[in-house]
Structure formats: C-alpha cells, structure tokens
Amino acid sequence: MAGATFQLEDAEGNVVKLVKVSDTEYRVANGEEANSVDSFTTVSTGNIVVTGVDLDNYTLVETVAPAGYNLLKDPVPVKVEAANNLIVEVANSTGSELPSTGGMGTTIFYVLGSILVLGAAVLLITKKRMNAAA
C-alpha cells in the first residue's frame, strides 16, 4: 500500500541511514553521505527493497500511516540471517482509533461528585433533625 513511511533501526535502536536508488529501492548509506535519508515511503506497489544491510536484528518503525489507516503500535522485528532475499510483510489496519480514556479529567469529576453527594447527605440529616426537634 502506498504512503506508509518507515524507519529502519538497528539492534541498538539507531536509525539506519539510507540512500534512495529509485522509488522502490534504497541502499544502506556508506558513512555520512550527503543524500542519505532517515526514512522511506512506499509507493503504489507498497514494496520497498533495501540493499546492503548487514546480518543483524533490525526493526521497522512506521512513522506515518497511509491515509485512512492506523499507525502501527509496535515496531516490526526483522532478522537478517543470510545473504539472500528477506521478505517482510507489514499489515496495516483501517478504521478509527478510540481516544484514550481516564487521566486527570475524570478525577476532577469524581471529586466534585463525591462532594455534592456528601453535601446532600449533610443537608438531609440536618433537615430530619430540625423536623424531629420541631
């Protein structure tokens, strides 16, 4: 799918610098090349080829999700074990994400609600005592 932007991170969490060879191909940068980039974006095919990767553990981190899709919550682990082609499929899901709930906003409502209930109880008890005394 087009429009997904990823970063490739090494085992230590460092972003691997890449050089764009074509719309669908990148290679690992040699040192600090002037035209190196931190991320890559998929085109219409949704496929990207990265060459020159050392044998190691990596993670793909989605930084921008395609329009209408949710950002991946967890990085995708990639283990490069042999000098051959490795295919990693990343599945994005559509739909809306629910907002996070809880937090400080609800605590204020709980405290105010408790104060109102206690105030009503005090008024009720006071009124009953006044009626009983009369």
The reply to whether 37 and 66 lie within a common domain is yes
Residue 61 sits in the same domain as residue 27? yes
Asked if 6 and 46 touch (Cβ cutoff 8 Å), the reply is: no
CATH number for 23: 2.60.40.10
What would the two tokens of residue 24 be? 């669908």
- For residues 13 and 76, membership in a common domain is answered with yes
For residue 27, give its domain range. 5-80
Domain shared by 16 and 61, yes or no? yes
Alpha-carbon dihedral angle through residues 43, 45, 51, 57, given to the nearest 10 degrees? 90
- In this structure, the answer to whether residues 70 and 120 fall within a common structural domain is no
2: confidence class by pLDDT, cuts 50, 70, 90: confident
Tokens of 21: 């060879």
Q: What is the pLDDT of residues 16-73, one digit of tens each?
A: 999 999 998 999 999 888 889 999 998 888 888 898 888 889 999 999 988 888 888 8
Element (H, E) at 132: helix 104-133
| Model pLDDT, residue 94 | 75
Q: Are 63 and 7 in contact (CB under 8 A)?
A: yes
Where in 34-84 does DSSP place strands (E)?
36-37, 40-41, 49-51, 56-64, 76-80
Say what the pLDDT of residue 80 is.
87
